[in-house]
């Protein structure tokens, strides 16, 4: 029985690689065309959203989307999600409307084929460089001026330990930006991504598991000052962590959706 389970998992991993690569290979020529001009970037963003949605469907995983309050499609937001897996960005792209911008680590720009696309569409940061962090703040402000919501992982990277059970200390970036620009900040919890696609160095591990994403109520920063930065960080930290599911059997999730289905993103 154990050998049969291992063989089934191997087949599923192969299928997941196929589901990731096939749409990307088909879309790649269009990506390369759409990043030739800045005015076409929004089409590349839409294509990236379609690719993310398609690969999640092909993984045969149900995704439950929870909104604690309605989100205004005309409003620019700063989304602050926990970071646990490389599936985080596809899940966000599949569930957040509009032409999003992401702040991601600079190593993503060096990924073969995909790196040049990420560099054109999104903001890369070398967290060990003070100059790079300063430029990221400038680019984030420009993105807001262009009417693009921004996703910034407040942990900065996938935690090295206790993933899905605790959060790494938060950086100031998304909170300072929200207060400076008086933009609503939306905490986001993704409690099961690390189970489906864990970040295991030197290994490619996939475990079939339903996913869930929780959009907390937007936090109004209109009347906030930098004196509110630390309380805001603590409040968001607790909100995100409140949706973690931990018991003696590990992280568990259950719903009655059919495999591969999505709950409505706007509800």
Helix, coil or strand: residue 256? coil
**pLDDT under 50: residue ranges of the chain:** 247-267
Tens digits of residue pLDDT in 173-229: 999 999 999 999 999 999 999 999 998 887 889 999 999 999 999 999 999 999 999
- Cα–Cα nearest to 240, from 190, 168, 185, 199: 190
What pLDDT is attached to residue 164?
84
pLDDT of residue 213: 97
Alpha helix ranges (H) inside 182-249: 193-196, 229-242
DSSP 83-95: ---TTHHHHHHHH
The answer to whether the beta carbons of residues 264 and 64 sit under 8 Å apart is no
């Amino acid at each position: 029985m154990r050998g049969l389970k291992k063989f089934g998992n191997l087949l599923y991993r192969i299928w997941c690689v196929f589901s990731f690569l096939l749409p990307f290979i088909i879309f790649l020529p269009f990506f390369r065309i759409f990043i030739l001009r800045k005015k076409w970037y929004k089409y590349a963003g839409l294509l990236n959203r379609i690719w993310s949605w398609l690969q999640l469907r092909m993984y045969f995983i149900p995704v439950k989307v929870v909104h604690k309050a309605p989100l205004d499609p005309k409003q620019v937001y700063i989304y602050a999600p926990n970071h646990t897996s490389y599936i985080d960005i596809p899940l966000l792209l599949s569930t957040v409307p509009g032409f999003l911008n992401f702040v991601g680590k600079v190593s993503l720009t060096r990924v073969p084929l995909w790196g040049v696309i990420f560099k054109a569409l999104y903001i890369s940061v070398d967290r060990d460089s003070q100059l790079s962090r300063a430029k990221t703040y400038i680019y984030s402000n420009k993105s807001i001026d262009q009417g693009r919501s921004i996703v910034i992982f407040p942990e900065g990277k996938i935690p090295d330990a206790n993933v899905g059970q605790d959060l790494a200390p938060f950086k100031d970036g998304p909170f300072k930006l929200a207060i400076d620009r008086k933009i609503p900040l939306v905490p986001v919890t993704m409690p099961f991504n690390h189970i489906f696609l864990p970040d295991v160095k030197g290994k490619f591990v996939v475990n079939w598991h339903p996913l869930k994403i929780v959009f907390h109520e937007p936090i109004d920063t209109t009347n906030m000052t930098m004196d509110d930065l630390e309380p805001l960080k603590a409040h968001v930290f607790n909100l995100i962590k409140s949706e973690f599911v931990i018991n003696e059997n590990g992280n568990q999730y259950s719903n009655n959706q059919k495999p591969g289905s999505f709950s409505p993103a706007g509800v």
